């Protein structure tokens, strides 16, 4: 068993089955054993690796790519789009960029023209009151979620148990009132046997951000669905990633794999609306990048030096690969 698995198995042995939220929280964020916290062997078989232990889950030697690894093109275009949005606000002099889940701070050089505040999931704080932009890239999909199953006319929590060294799903009691309200509000009418994820932490983050943001935008890049589109996922959306391969068994080898759940964009939008934000745009990442690059025909992003061909490859991947998979939700709050 992995160290995270041993930790979880001991917890289950002491107190019984645990929520999937707790399982995901330990698997990803435990201070010593979590996927994003501890060093892991991470190399492609048959290829040289940069060192015996690699804690970085991203890139060639990791388990997946994000758009932020496609630099400098991604950073240049996102910064250009943020400049456009700042202009729409009337060029406020105190414009600040806040990035939840900033990770390795890959966007910091591209946001250098503004005050930049990175905020991690379990550390750092949002400014008390600020004007500007909250930018997040694949942040909400990595927040720990609860899991539920609709069976016998009721939403029941999916718990995690452990037997003979293996983790397994257990159908638990009815979900909490708060979880039930989330499922009924942000999903279509339930059907027997369907699986769901409940991302209450995402709503907590939206509420925190909205309370701090006096004037500006929440700019979210992630993969996910709207309430109407949720019917396309009767088995839920939980996935784990290892060696650039998506796997449906999210309980296997905790601590060595990423775990994600698709973002419910309707939940983010409606929660934000309660705090005075309104939807400006909901589109593919490709459309956002096109809006950013079209004014100069992508000249700044592509450059003219030795790496021009490499940058063109990055742009192609962003527009025709990730660009059609990832979506952008832009929410606006106007100062009262």
pLDDT at 48 over 90: no
Q: Please name the residues in contact with 269: beta carbons below 8 A apart, sequence gap of 6 or more.
A: 279, 282, 329, 331
C-beta of residue 43 within 8 angstroms of C-beta of residue 54 = yes
* CB-based burial, 146-170: b 16+ in 10 Å, e otherwise: bbbbbeeeebebbbbbbeeeebebe
C-beta of residue 175 within 8 angstroms of C-beta of residue 157 = yes
Cα end-to-end distance, the chain, whole Å: 54
Tens of pLDDT along 270-294? Answer: 999 999 999 999 999 999 999 999 9
Of 40-54, 70-84, 204-218, 239-253, minimum mean pLDDT range: 40-54
pTM: 0.90
Alpha helix segments (H runs only) across 16-72: 20-29
The torsion of the CA quartet 190, 327, 208, 279, rounded to 10 degrees, works out to: -90
Cis peptide before 72 (omega within 30 of 0): yes
Every domain of the chain and the residues it spans: 70-139+208-223+267-336
User: What is the 3-state composition of the chain as percent helix, strand, coil, each rounded to the nearest 5?
Assistant: 35, 30, 35
What CATH number matches the domain at 70-139+208-223+267-336, 3.30.420.40, 3.20.10.10, 1.20.120.140, 3.40.50.12710? 3.40.50.12710
Question: DSSP assignment, residue 50?
Answer: S
Tokens representing 307 are: 């790496």
pLDDT at 176 over 70: yes
Of 2-6, 100-104, 159-163, 250-254, minimum mean pLDDT range: 100-104
Q: Which residue has the higher pLDDT, 125 or 296?
A: 296
């Amino acid at each position: 068993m992995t160290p995270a698995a041993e930790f979880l198995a001991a917890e289950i042995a002491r107190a019984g089955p645990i929520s999937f939220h707790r399982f995901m929280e330990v698997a990803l964020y435990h201070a010593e054993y979590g996927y994003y916290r501890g060093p892991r062997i991470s190399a492609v078989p048959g290829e040289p690796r940069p060192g015996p232990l690699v804690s970085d889950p991203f890139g060639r030697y990791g388990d997946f790519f994000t758009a932020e690894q496609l630099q400098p093109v991604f950073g240049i275009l996102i910064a250009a789009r943020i400049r456009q949005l700042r202009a729409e606000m009337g060029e406020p002099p105190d414009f600040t960029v806040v990035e939840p889940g900033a990770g390795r701070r890959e966007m910091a050089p591209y946001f250098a023209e503004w005050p930049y505040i990175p905020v991690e999931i379990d550390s750092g704080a949002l400014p008390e009151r600020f004007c500007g932009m909250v930018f997040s890239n694949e942040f909400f999909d990595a927040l720990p979620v609860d899991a539920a199953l609709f069976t016998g006319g009721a939403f029941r929590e999916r718990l995690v148990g452990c037997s003979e060294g293996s983790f397994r799903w257990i159908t638990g009691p009815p979900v909490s009132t708060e979880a039930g309200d989330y499922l009924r509000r942000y999903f279509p009418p339930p059907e027997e046997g369907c699986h769901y994820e409940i991302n209450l932490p995402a709503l907590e983050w939206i509420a925190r951000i909205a309370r701090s943001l006096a004037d500006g935008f929440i700019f979210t890049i992630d993969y996910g669905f709207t309430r109407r589109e949720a019917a396309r996922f009767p088995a839920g959306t939980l996935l784990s990633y290892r060696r650039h391969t998506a796997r449906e068994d999210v309980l296997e080898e905790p601590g060595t794999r990423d775990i994600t759940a698709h973002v419910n964009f309707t939940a983010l939008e409606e929660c934000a609306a309660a705090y005075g934000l309104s939807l400006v745009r909901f589109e593919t990442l490709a459309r956002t990048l096109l809006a950013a690059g079209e004014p100069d025909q992508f000249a700044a992003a592509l450059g003219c030096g030795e790496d021009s061909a490499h940058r063109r490859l990055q742009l192609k991947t962003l527009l025709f690969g990730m660009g059609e998979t990832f979506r952008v939700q832009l929410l606006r709050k106007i100062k009262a």
